Amino acid sequence: MIMVDTDVLIWILRGHIDIKEKMLEFIQDISIKLFITPIQISEIYAGLKENEKIKTSLFLDSFPCITIDSQIGKLAGEYVNKYKKSHGVTVSDSLIAACSKIHNLQLWTLNIKHYPMLGKDDIITLKK
């Protein structure tokens, strides 16, 4: 099971072939499920143009969305406390990482530097 980071979703929406092909591989493997959180949705909608809303909404609605609860909030806060000064970790990235960790999901991201709290086995990456 995989959490898809905002950057990956954006590149798919922009039509990046390598990333779209990787997502198709994941989708075709029935043992793999892809998830997002409200964080990815809000980050994408923050930069959305009016003419992109329908396509983007349909795309994002195709993913199960993990609810952010107090357990995730506490872990995310610990991540920010530990990594904000040394790595510039944001609340958004820490919430995504905490969701991934608590739900035993690997995080598919192109920005591994945003996730110092996750180990190599916790991250899937594909360079642009």
HEC string of 22-86 equals HHHHHHHCCCCCEEECHHHHHHHHHCCCHHHHHHHHHHHHCCCECCCCHHHHHHHHHHHHHHHHH
Signed CA dihedral, 91, 50, 108, 15: sign only? negative
CATH of 2-124, one of 3.40.50.1010, 3.90.226.10, 2.170.270.10, 3.40.225.10: 3.40.50.1010
The string of pLDDT tens digits covering residues 50-76 is: 999 999 999 999 999 999 999 999 999
Which 3 state secondary structure label does DSSP give 100?
helix
Angle between helices 91-102 and 38-46 (to 10 degrees): 150
- pTM for the full model? 0.90
The string of pLDDT tens digits covering residues 77-126 is: 999 999 999 999 999 999 999 999 999 999 999 999 999 999 999 999 87
Spell out the domain ranges in the chain: 2-124
